[in-house]
């Protein structure tokens, strides 16, 4: 079973303005591959607020592919994969908004939210933001670099699986009352977690 962590950065407040995607593949209980691709948004409007967060400027992406071209490179990887994102509601709304903008259908996949997972497994952490989680796990990274964010998300998911003593990240939802989200040709279902 394929498991891939994903993270998007956006050029502005619009969800359809992805300007970077990071991916981290999990196999046999470890991160085996990390990739980042810059994306040229259809509308090249970059807000100073977003640039201050991730440092990506219009000139960085002017030679990059647009969303369909960039994501098509990974289409075989995504097919029937279990995806993970830290605050999946955001990342999967970016994915959907970008696909909608290009009138493309959604891929068939399931997804998990590592924020919801961390909240269930480590309820005493003051926050479950990615940088707090990284510090809790002893990981250093460049926050808001999509590849590094995806890699930390993947490491956090693996740590959660280990702390629950389950073999695979896909086994976590059954232990914490989580229902995986889903993208499919006709739409999507959100990832949800039963209240304690």
Question: Per-residue pLDDT tens for 75-94?
Answer: 999 988 999 999 999 999 99
Reply yes or no on whether the pLDDT at 71 is more than 70: yes
* Cα→Cα distances 94→18, 57, 140, 162, Å: 7, 18, 26, 30
Report the DSSP beta bridge partners of residue 3: 26, 82
Nearest CA-CA partner of 38 in 14, 57, 16, 53 = 57
pTM, two decimals, is 0.96
pLDDT digits (tens, 9 = 90+) for 49-58: 999 999 999 9
pLDDT digits (tens, 9 = 90+) for 6-25: 999 999 999 999 999 999 99
Q: Which long-range contacts (CB under 8 A, 24 or more apart) does 131-136 make?
A: 133/86
Reply yes or no on whether the pLDDT at 195 is more than 80: no
pLDDT digits (tens, 9 = 90+) for 146-171: 999 999 999 999 999 999 999 999 99
Phi-psi region of 59 (alpha: psi -120 to 50; beta: other; left: phi over 0): alpha
Is residue 186 very low, low, confident or very high in pLDDT (cuts 50, 70, 90)? Answer: confident
Reply yes or no on whether the pLDDT at 194 is more than 90: no
Mean pLDDT, residues 54-76: 97
Q: What is the predicted pLDDT for the residue at 196?
A: 59
Q: What percent of the chain has pLDDT over 70?
A: 99
- 79 burial level (CB within 10 Å; 0-12, 13-18, 19+): exposed
Q: What is the distance between the alpha carbons of residues 157 and 27, in angstroms, rounded to a whole number?
A: 12
CB 182 within 8 A of CB 189: yes
Q: Which two tokens stand for residue 98?
A: 């970008």
């Amino acid at each position: 079973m394929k498991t891939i962590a994903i993270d998007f950065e956006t050029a502005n407040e619009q969800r359809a303005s992805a300007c970077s995607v990071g991916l981290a593949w999990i196999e046999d209980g470890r991160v085996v591959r990390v990739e980042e691709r810059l994306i040229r948004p259809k509308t090249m409007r970059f807000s100073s607020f977003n640039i201050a967060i991730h440092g990506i400027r219009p000139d960085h992406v002017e030679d990059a592919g647009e969303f369909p071209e960039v994501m098509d490179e990974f289409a075989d990887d995504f097919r029937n994969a279990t995806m993970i994102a830290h605050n999946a509601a955001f990342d999967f709304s970016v994915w959907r908004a970008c696909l909608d903008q290009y009138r493309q259908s959604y891929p068939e996949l399931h997804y998990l939210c590592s924020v919801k997972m961390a909240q269930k497994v480590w309820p005493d952490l003051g926050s479950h933001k990615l940088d707090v989680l990284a510090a809790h796990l002893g990981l250093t990274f460049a926050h808001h670099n999509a590849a590094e964010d995806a890699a930390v998300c993947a490491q956090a998911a693996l740590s959660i699986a280990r702390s629950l003593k389950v073999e695979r990240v896909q086994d976590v939802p059954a232990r914490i009352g989580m229902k995986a989200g889903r993208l499919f040709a006709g739409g999507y279902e959100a990832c949800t977690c039963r209240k304690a």
